[in-house]
Amino acid sequence: MSSDLILRVGTKLILPFILLFAIYVQLHGDYGPGGGFQAGVIVAAVVILIAITFGHNAAKRVAPRGLVECMVPMGVLIFAGTGVAGFFLGGNYLDYSVLSHDPIHGHHLGIFLVEIGVAVTVSGTMVALFYAFVERGR
Amino acid sequence: MELVSSHLPALQIVIPLLGGLLAALLRRGVPAFALTLAVSWIMPVISAVLLDRVLTGGPISYALGGWPPPWGIEYRVDVLNGFVLMLISTIGAVIVPFARRSVALEVGERREAWFYCMYLMCLTGLLGVTITGDAFNAFVFLEVSSLSTYVLIALGRDRRALVAAFRYLIMGTIGATFYVIGVGFLYLLTGSLNMVDMAARLAAAPPEMARAMVAALAFLTVGISLKLALFPLHSWLPGAYAYAPSWATVFLSATATKVAIYLLVRFLFSIFGIALDFRGLPIVEILLALSIAAMFIASIIAVYQNNLKRMLAYSSLAQIGYMMLGIGIGNLAGLTGGLVHLVNHAMMKAALFLALGSLFYRIGTVRLAEIAGIGRKMPLTMGAFVVAGLGIIGTPGTAGFISKWYLAVGALDRGWWILVFLLVVSSLISVLYIGRVIEMAWFRPVAIQVAEAKDPPLSMLLPLLILAAATVYFGIDTRLTAGIAAQVAEFLLGGLR
Amino acid sequence: MEAFLDFADRYNYVITIFLMIAGLYIVVARSNMVKKLVGLSIFQTSVYLLYLEPAKIVGGTAPIIDPAFTVYSNPLPHVLILTAIVVGVGTLALGLALVVRINEAFGTIDDDEIKPQDGG
């Protein structure tokens, strides 16, 4: 917990831009460097930054422990669910080409969904790890 | 129905995967257990249908993501892995009712849901290693199962569980990395990761590639041997089995090492078999020497253990020796013996560990000195222990005898009569350690600390009795076990010629 | 000279093998559990190199088809190693978490000091 005014205001100012950058990295992942892993880590960095500046109780108001622990399996579930959707649309498991009327568009959609799942799991895992270590030794 | 039946190979993996994720999301022990039960009971149905189809109609191939093999990841079920899938899923289904009370007691309410999540992830990994036809995908599944296994072990109550899990993590990761190195060599040689494609390309490989092939074989064999705890690479196993939660030990002892053995068999016979007549290499001699060493040394160490879980863990090492012996003998009867011992040992050792789990549930200890007279207080539990123990010894009329019989026939076919002698002697050592427990449990006056003990509730007793009954049943009617194992052995040796 | 050129041709493999053996040695020789994990990571990293070195084709570009390029690097090893890296990170994280718990339970992270405490 820091009482330094510049840090506190600076953190508040920078947070929305970090989140915006995370969204950019997430969505740009189809065409350039980026994707769910990186975006997930950046999102987790937001929570960790809040915890460092305002204390980890403030961070837990933003991202409650229960939510974070649900995000870890939830992201994988989105990934696996995208695969299962392939079953019902007439393809094999993880076949993205049937997700849309046009195979290329289907692959696009599939990867997009999968990357969202990855982002959810990665950010959840990072924050959960952070909480787990922060609470040690108290 | 059509939807389900055409996707069975994928469902075999996807259902436990989704189940594990949902179990973690449920966050409460009872609903997570209900889900685990449902998933574990669906698994053998899928495996049975797959095995039946394979036995009648030949291998099934499933292209993941619609990418045709050899480019995409292929799930391929043939008699060998159909047999192993059946084994894992059936054992899982039989022992899962035991988990409810045992896990609630030993793991604690807060972590129960995570325990079931990890179990289902481990099941996913083990089934995945078995079903996949892609060498690198097998590594990923191997690590899925290993990572969840480390967690399962670390959830044990004793603080030594943490150290055991850490040691296993180090050894397991080295093993997996060796495996990846081996696969890397094969990928460099063949440009393919699909096992069938790889086998075909290795068979056509020019002779100057032989050296790289031998290096790949060496890395793969050592790596997988670490995972399957072949003597002398076994140091992680006794601690891991001794300090893991009782039910986790039951599951791991019955399945984890079996899957590693499957993987080794797959590489030795299906992938290298044609290309590299490994009878020309000393690998057979090495396997034979190590399995015999395991049979004797591990059995002798088992005799001196006072913690019964540790004793059975050493006994498992000895039994792994028998399975590897079958692979080393490498003729029809020997391989059949090794493979059928996968099933028989899974069944018997699961029963023995379940009995210990029941003991722990009732009296809170599994130390030999503290169970005097327990047989009269928990007759059904210890009765089942005796039956399964006789199976481990290899008494005629139990499943253990069948495996040893085939091994002995295989050894005699090769003219290695001394091996038959060694088999008998090592069985006599197992009489010692099983006998110590039986003597303590049945022929001693009832100690004070066990005076209040009684047989565990039905949900725990039933899996134990089923497995003990199976030990006897499969000692008499061997059509399901040895029958299929012989077919598998024939299939494997067909690849060699 | 001949030998030197031979070496220069294959120096990447020498690095790979050096890292492999160094990592494995650390795992075996150190009793500090964190150092063991460091060694394990080095060992795993050497395998990443083993896969990636042959995959890089000099002058090859990322495998996105474009009329301007004719030589592409093989993407498959990169993808495989991306997976292996994730597995490695997972293993390392789990290992470190175990070390933290071991430190809380035993008050030490040295394997040699844990053994006498509990009789192995």
Rounded (10°) CA dihedral B337, B338, B342, B343: -10
Is the CB of B62 inside 8 Å of chain A's CB atoms? Answer: yes
Measured between beta carbons, the chain A residues lying within 8 angstroms of C104 are 136
Total domains present in chain B: 1
* Digit-coded pLDDT (tens) for B441-476: 888 888 887 778 888 888 899 999 999 999 999 988
CA atoms within 13 A on the CB side of A125: 22
CA dist A41 and A47 (Å) reads 10
Residue C120 pLDDT = 45
Is the CB of C42 inside 8 Å of chain B's CB atoms? Answer: no
Which residue range is the domain that position B481 belongs to? 282-497
Q: Minimal Cα distance from C23: which residue of B?
A: B174
Higher pLDDT, B36 or B158: B36
With bands split at pLDDT 50, 70 and 90, how would you rate the model's confidence at C119? low
- Percent of chain B past pLDDT 90, that is, above it, reads 57
| CA-based nearest distance A57→chain B, Å | 22
CA C110 to the chain's CA centroid? 23
Q: Is residue B358 included in any domain, yes or no?
A: yes
Q: Which chains touch A (3 or more CB pairs under 8 A)?
A: B, C
CA C117 to the chain's CA centroid? 32
- Percent of chain C past pLDDT 70, that is, above it, reads 98
Q: Is residue B300 included in any domain, yes or no?
A: yes
| For residue B187, pLDDT beyond 50 | yes
Residue B368 pLDDT = 87
Q: Do C95 and B143 touch (CB under 8 A)?
A: no
Give the count of beta carbons closer than 10 Å to the beta carbon of residue B477.
11
Query: What is the pTM for the complete model shown?
Result: 0.93
Is the CB of C83 inside 8 Å of chain B's CB atoms? Answer: yes
Q: Is residue B229 included in any domain, yes or no?
A: no
Q: Minimal Cα distance from A67: which residue of B?
A: B25
| CA-based nearest distance B161→chain C, Å | 9
* Digit-coded pLDDT (tens) for B100-133: 988 888 888 888 899 999 999 999 999 999 999 9
Q: What letter does residue A94 receive in the DSSP assignment? A: T
| For residue C69, pLDDT beyond 90 | no
Is the CB of C40 inside 8 Å of chain B's CB atoms? Answer: yes
Q: Is residue B215 included in any domain, yes or no?
A: no
| CA-based nearest distance B166→chain C, Å | 6
The domain defined by C2-118 folds into: Helix Hairpins (1.10.287)
Angle (CA) B130 B131 B137, round 5°? 85
Measured between beta carbons, the chain B residues lying within 8 angstroms of C36 are 170
Is the CB of B24 inside 8 Å of chain A's CB atoms? Answer: yes
Is the CB of C43 inside 8 Å of chain B's CB atoms? Answer: yes
| CA-based nearest distance B3→chain A, Å | 7
Q: Is residue B92 included in any domain, yes or no?
A: no
Lowest model confidence (mean pLDDT) among A61-70, B78-87, C61-70: C61-70
Q: Is residue B388 included in any domain, yes or no?
A: yes
| For residue B52, pLDDT beyond 50 | yes
What is the rounded average pLDDT for all residues in chain B? 89
Q: Do A132 and C97 touch (CB under 8 A)?
A: yes
| For residue A86, pLDDT beyond 90 | no
Measured between beta carbons, the chain B residues lying within 8 angstroms of A95 are 65-66
| CA-based nearest distance C34→chain B, Å | 11
Helix axes B160-190, C33-55, angle to 10 degrees: 10
* Digit-coded pLDDT (tens) for C12-68: 888 999 999 999 999 999 989 999 999 999 999 999 999 888 877 777 777 777 788
Q: Is residue B295 included in any domain, yes or no?
A: yes
Residue C92 pLDDT = 93
- Percent of chain B past pLDDT 70, that is, above it, reads 98
| For residue B42, pLDDT beyond 90 | yes
Total domains present in chain A: 1
Range B38-43 average pLDDT: 94
Q: Which chains touch C (3 or more CB pairs under 8 A)?
A: A, B
Which residue range is the domain that position A72 belongs to? 5-134
| For residue B497, pLDDT beyond 50 | no
Measured between beta carbons, the chain B residues lying within 8 angstroms of A67 are none
Maximum Cα–Cα distance across chain B: 72
Residue A137 pLDDT = 64
